[in-house]
Amino acid sequence: MIDQLIIFQKIYDLYLYTHRMVARFPKAQRFLLSNALLKTNMEMIRLTVIANSKPDRRAEQKKISVNLDLFRVYVRVAKDVGFLSIKKYGVVAEKINEIGRLLNAWMRVSRL
């Protein structure tokens, strides 16, 4: 089951956190950056489900990694333009780092 995959749950939790986070972005500037964050996160969820259903998951895992890097950049932009406090940035960065560690472990296991 996909719900039992820890990385899926962490990415899903990140989406919920991101959804609440972008609701606080300034309205005039909200659409582009919040849309990029939410779409990238949703793509990670989609790719995780696909990867979990395949015997050879490496291609999807690499795409998840690329999307995680993009998400990291978008969060940094949000911090740099003042949409995120340093504290919230730290919380999101820790969630991203945890997902990165889980993804690296999953990729190592998939190579075997």
pLDDT means over runs of 10, the chain (112 residues): 86 98 88 95 98 94 98 98 96 98 95 74
Q: What would the two tokens of residue 61 be?
A: 């895992």
With tokens 């978008």, the residue in question is: 74
pLDDT of residue 4: 78
Work out the angle at residue 38's Cα, subtended by the Cα atoms of residues 35 and 40, and round it to the nearest 5 degrees. Answer: 100
Domain count, the chain: 1
With tokens 């990415």, the residue in question is: 11
Could you give the CA distance from residue 58 to residue 15 in angstroms, rounded to a whole number? 23
What CATH number is attached to the domain comprising 53?
1.20.1440.60
CA 68 to chain centre: 5
pLDDT of residue 40: 99
pTM of the full predicted structure?
0.93
pLDDT of residue 81: 95
3-state SS, 21-71, equals HHCCCCHHHHHHHHHHHHHHHHHHHHHHHHHHCCCCCHHHHHHHHHHHHHH
Give how far Cα 44 sits from Cα of 11, 18, 24, 83, 89, Å.
7, 13, 23, 23, 20
Domain that holds residue 95: 2-111
